[in-house]
Amino acid sequence: MRSRVLRRLINAGGARSARQVAVIGGSGRTLISSCPLRSVLPPTHVSGPAISTSSSFASLFHVRTFSSSSAGNVCLIQSEEQFSSALNKIQDESSPAILYFTAVWCPPCRFMSPVLEELSGKYPHVTTYKIDIDQKGIEDKLSELRIDSVPRLHFFKDGKKVDEIIGADIERLKYTMERLYE
């Protein structure tokens, strides 16, 4: 498959000189540098979590949208109104909850998401609100909460923020959830 793509690139003029196409150390692995793959290959050949749209984001991580939330699941926040409503619900109902700030392009977030999904199943009484920081319209809320890096998790108990994790610290995540929600 790789050699077929390489031949297609060379025949299509994608590689203009011999120095743009190289074989790495006799391993047979091909390195293509300075080649705009997006313009040469059809979009269907370029896929993955890093280029997912927000609508496929939910299906990729098996999350439910905010409107279908129920105790113990992961809800994807898709607007400023949903974000405000989630914050109000957490504070007014004193519901145990986690705000998980993430981004599709963030490798540590992609590493952490499946672990958080698994832990969410272990603690069904805790609602996790997954917030993609690149979502349009939530900039003011992010600024208000001083969200300047991802992944970031805010843990709530009895309507109050009781802990925070910045970064993909899986062991601390497990410990914090066990300590707060068992």
Active site residues: 106, 109
Q: Shortest CA distance to 77 belongs to which of 149, 132, 127, 114?
A: 132
Q: Is 39 strand, coil or helix?
A: helix
**DSSP E strands, the chain:** 21-24, 29-32, 64-65, 74-77, 97-102, 127-132, 152-157, 160-166
Burial tier of 55 (Cβ tally within 10 Å: 0-12, 13-18, 19+): exposed
What is the rounded CA–CA span in Å between residue 29 and residue 100? 39
Contacts made by residues 140-144, CB under 8 angstroms, sequence distance 24+ = 140/80, 141/80, 141/83, 141/84, 141/87, 142/101
Q: How far is the C-alpha of 108 from the C-alpha of 121, rounded, in Å? A: 21
**Cα 102 from Cα 114, distance rounded (Å):** 12
